[in-house]
Amino acid sequence: MKGLILLGAENINQNAWGAINGCEAASLLEGLHFQKRAEMINYGQFLLDMPISADGNPYRGFGGSPFKNQIGKFEAIFVTPLMQWGSRYGSLINLSGAAPWWLYQSLKEGSPVLVYVTVHFEDPKWEQYPFGKVPTNNHAVLLDGIDSDRVHVSDPIDGKYWLDRNKFETIYNSRRMAVTIQK
């Protein structure tokens, strides 16, 4: 891909709101706000609307609390319930399973992408849970830019920054979970 694309999405600091596990909601709201959706809703209100899974399964809703760690819970919300929730506010497309090229195409079309990665883009630390094997260092960021050898993310923990494209792709490809937030 030639040229620079930088959409300039906002950054929501999940820790400033006390939501130590609120990365998916922050990344989703960043993308919705970028697309001029849910503009009257702040992050705190958005978190209160997030569906919670009674059995702690992130494939059914948020598995625990975005505000604290709970023993036996996996504090995250995965693509299907995130899309059901987020679709009330804007147009989302599930890009899970897609090669990185599809994410970059979405950026080229003006749509940021929520991607499931790991905290600080470290190697995944896999553990088995009743619902499946997942990385305990699960994280979500909003992909909002790319150039020839880097991607730009709005990270709810670490802020906005450029990252080596190969590093991003290695971590993204460990799960290939992504959601485009459209206009």
Query: What average pLDDT does the segment 60-70 reach?
Result: 94
Range name among 1-5, 75-79, 100-104, 106-110 with the lowest pLDDT average: 1-5
What is the spatial distance between Cα 180 and Cα 41, in angstroms, rounded to a whole number?
20
Please tell me the predicted confidence (pLDDT) of residue 134. 96
pLDDT in tens, 129-147: 999 999 999 999 999 999 9
User: Sorting pLDDT into bands at 50, 70 and 90, what band is 58?
Assistant: very high
Summarised one tens digit per residue, pLDDT across range 100-137 is: 999 999 999 999 999 999 999 999 999 999 999 999 99
Measure CA of the first residue to CA of the last residue in the chain; give whole Å. Answer: 22
CB 144 within 8 A of CB 114: no
State residue 82's pLDDT score: 98
From CA 82, how far away is CA 107, in angstroms rounded? Answer: 20
- Judged against a pLDDT cut of 70, whether residue 18 lies above it is answered with yes
Please give the Cα distance from 19 to 64 (Å, whole number). 12
Q: Cα 43 to the chain's mean position, in Å?
A: 14
For the chain, count helices (H), then strands (E): 5, 9
**Is the whole model's pTM more than 0.95, yes or no?**
yes
CATH architecture for segment(s) 5-182 = Alpha-Beta Complex (3.90)
72 pLDDT band, cuts 50/70/90, is confident
Q: Is the pLDDT of residue 1 over 60?
A: no
pLDDT attached to residue 70:
87
- The answer to whether 82 and 26 are in contact (CB under 8 A) is no
